Structure 1
Amino acid sequence: MVINNPQLDQIFGALSDATRRGILMQLSQGETNITTLAAPYQMSQPAISKHIRILEKAGLIRRAKRGREYIIQAAPEAAEQARDWIDYYAQFWREQFDDVEAYLKQTGELR
């Protein structure tokens, strides 16, 4: 079953990068500003901002302006959508393997 879901494509695309996964890990500790998020990485502010935009477009984070700085927080709804997709296919493949195992036992190929 192929599902054409552009939002899911963006979520998995955003999660495919180690820096973005690291940013999400930082945000699991609570909201923070872009400067704090950028601190562990050896990259320019524009590069970090690009990662932030990708995560925001995928719906994995929210950005709000407070005073002169942007505060970033995790948005779990998009991650839950990815988790639901993974859970569905994990269950599907478990059932497929169970069916193969039952068939092999029935035919005597597996004891």
Structure 2
Amino acid sequence: MVVESDDTDRLFHALADGTRRDILRRSVRGELSVSQLAAAYPMSFAAVQKHVTVLERAGLVTKERRGKEQLVRTDPDAVRRARTALEQLEATWRGRVDRMSQVLSRTSATVEDTPNERTDR
């Protein structure tokens, strides 16, 4: 059994929200201020700030203050970590499904080789 770390939990919690995923997509192109981001959403500035904070705690974005503005940029390394975690999960499940298929194939072959009482009479 694989136990995920708190970092991985924070990462996927942050990615679970559509607004946060959209903020990542927007900020991957370059630095955007929180004000610029807030203008794109039908929610308050404070709500967008909270989304950015969740992304920052997960390590998905970096925030830098320049004067009065807070600039947000996606951290590509964090996105790679998410991809790697998903690839590891996929490999685990593919292995489990493959093993289950092998067991079912052996069981099916055993059942086919076993004489049926009704047809043997």
TM range (shorter): 0.7 to 0.9
Within 2, Cα distance between the matches of 1:27 and 1:45? 16
Once the two structures are overlaid, the 10-residue window that deviates more, 13-22 or 26-35, is 26-35
Q: Which runs of 5+ in 2 are unaligned?
A: 110-121
Letter in 1 for 2:27: L
- TM-score, normalised with respect to structure 1: 0.86
Q: Any stretches of 5+ residues in structure 1 without a counterpart?
A: none
When Rg is computed on C-alpha atoms for both structures, the one with the higher figure is: 2
Q: Which moved more, 1:43-52 or 1:71-80?
A: 71-80
Partner letter of residue 21 of structure 2? R
Aligned to 1:62: 62
Count of aligned pairs: 109
- Per-residue CA shift, 1:40-59, capped at 9, x if unaligned? 21111111111111111111
Is 1:29 matched up with 2:29?
yes
Considering only aligned residues, what root-mean-square deviation do their CA atoms show, in Å? 1.6
Deviations 1:46-75 (A, max 9, x none): 111111111111111001122321111001
Q: Deviations along 1:83-104, whole A, 9 cap, x unmatched?
A: 2221111011112212222333
Q: With structure 2 as the length reference, what TM-score do the two structures score?
A: 0.80
Label 1:69 to 1:5 Cα distance change in 2 as closer, same or farther (>3 A): same
The farther-off stretch of 95-104 and 12-21 is 95-104
Structure 1 residues 99 and 81: CA distance shift in structure 2, 3 A? same
